[in-house]
Amino acid sequence: MGGGLAAVLAALALLATPALFAARANAQSTLSAIEADVDRIARRARPCVVTVVAQRTISRAGQPRRTHNRVGSGVAVSANGVLTTASVVIGAEHVFVVTENHLQVEAILVGMDPVRNLALLRPEGLELSALTLAGKPAASGDWVIALGNSYRGAPTQSVGTVALRFSEPGTSLLQLTNEVHPGNSGGAALNSHGELLGLVQGELGAPEAPGQRERAERRPGGMSFAIPADDIAPFLDALANGGRVRHGMFGVSTRGAFVNSSSNPGDRVPLGALVEAVQARGAAARLGLKKGDLIVAFNGERVEYPEQLARWVAVAGPGATVTLVWVRDELRHEGTTRLDEAPSAIPSWMSVEASPALSAGAGPNADRSALETHLRASARRPLEPRGGADSTAH
């Protein structure tokens, strides 16, 4: 009996071995094909990815003036248009673009939307290969190839997936499993077709609003994020059609309202945006809001922090009809109003250490009106249609 069982097991092993080898060979073949596809997509897209260097002069009492460089990445979306994050270039006096073959030229800031954390540059004298925006919105589980440049200018590359999509009124953010390195902010997040699925965001969120954020609002660290293509397209269209991004304005100043947590001592639970002042004849005044009202919802979404409300109002745009819910004397109120247009390219609630105006004579202390003038002047020169150029950088 023992000898017969051994013979049967030996025969089964002989039968299984070819199948096992075939399975391993198929798996190896599949991995090789994936690696080849990734390599092909990366090679084709790499000339479209540039290094962005933003320079600013810093003066401190008793110390010599010095130049501070902020380094990020950028993606060509037209022959003469480079997309990057606003957090890379905001506050810069000069911005330079460095190509894959180490050509360096100064760039003009065409326009920016610090709320969505987007900026568009025009590098002088360059004609670049351009990436096409993805036509299909990114979804959880989609493959992502992230390309960028490090602080030292070395190219970086990683493969991952879309882990989650965070959606807010008018904006969204992709959480990626890709490894993102310092200097990758403004880099390309590509889909499996080599299209621009999103713009890598090295910093978590748009440039900070004034003051310290409450602990409960901070996003967890160690994650990589991307601004999706369906948020990038309206930004590019606004610059192409009107020369600037128009933000909505509600006409109210607010501060955070919190209560102590009963379940976690020491934690504070956000309640909403507490109205401190209302602008005469503004959208909030027309709605009937008063000092002391607590705004708790915007277009059906719960408002926890003043920064949330300000961001949602800004991206909704002027003329948008919005619905708000607020509490007054412990009674619920609801109303609908049309937003006005914010007067500045940079919302007043955002912290900006210096104007990113790049026109002659604009220094670190240039005001927002100088930025607005510069953006309008820069936008008069037309850009090539995005994704419409295939020439290599030269």
Residue with the larger pLDDT of the pair 170 and 78: 78
What separation in angstroms does the CA of 199 have from each of 173, 193, 276, 279, 319?
10, 16, 36, 36, 28
Is pLDDT of 384 > 60?
A: no
pLDDT score at 59: 78
Main-chain phi, psi angles of 124, to 5 degrees: -70, 130
How do the domains of the chain map onto residue ranges?
248-341
Count of beta carbons in the 10 Å neighbourhood of residue 35 = 11
Main-chain phi, psi angles of 381, to 5 degrees: -85, 125
- Angle, vertex CA 224, rays to CA 94 and CA 111, nearest 5: 30
Count of beta carbons in the 10 Å neighbourhood of residue 16 = 10
CB 324 within 8 A of CB 335: yes
DSSP state of 100: T
Report which secondary-structure segment, H or E, holds 11. Answer: helix 2-45
Separation CA 127–CA 56 (nearest Å): 26
Separation CA 45–CA 114 (nearest Å): 26
Measure CA of the first residue to CA of the last residue in the chain; give whole Å.
79
Residues 6+ apart with CB under 8 A from 206: 86, 87, 114, 115, 116, 117, 311, 350
In terms of Cα–Cα distance, which of 117, 125, 137 is closest to 203? 117
In terms of Cα–Cα distance, which of 307, 142, 314 is closest to 229? 142
Chain segment 326-362, per-residue pLDDT in tens: 999 999 999 999 999 998 767 666 654 433 322 222 2
Separation CA 348–CA 359 (nearest Å): 21
Give the three-class secondary structure for 276.
Answer: strand
- Percent of the chain surpassing pLDDT 70: 73
Helix-, strand-, coil-residue percentages of the chain, each rounded to 5: 25, 35, 40
How far is CA 240 from its chain centroid?
19
Chain segment 278-326, per-residue pLDDT in tens: 999 999 999 999 999 999 999 999 999 999 999 999 999 999 999 999 9
Separation CA 141–CA 138 (nearest Å): 9
Is pLDDT of 31 > 90?
A: no
pTM for this entry: 0.73
Separation CA 54–CA 97 (nearest Å): 9
CB 255 within 8 A of CB 273: yes
When pLDDT is averaged across residues 117-145 and rounded to a whole number, the result is 92
CB 270 within 8 A of CB 217: yes
Q: What is the CATH number of domain 248-341?
A: 2.30.42.10
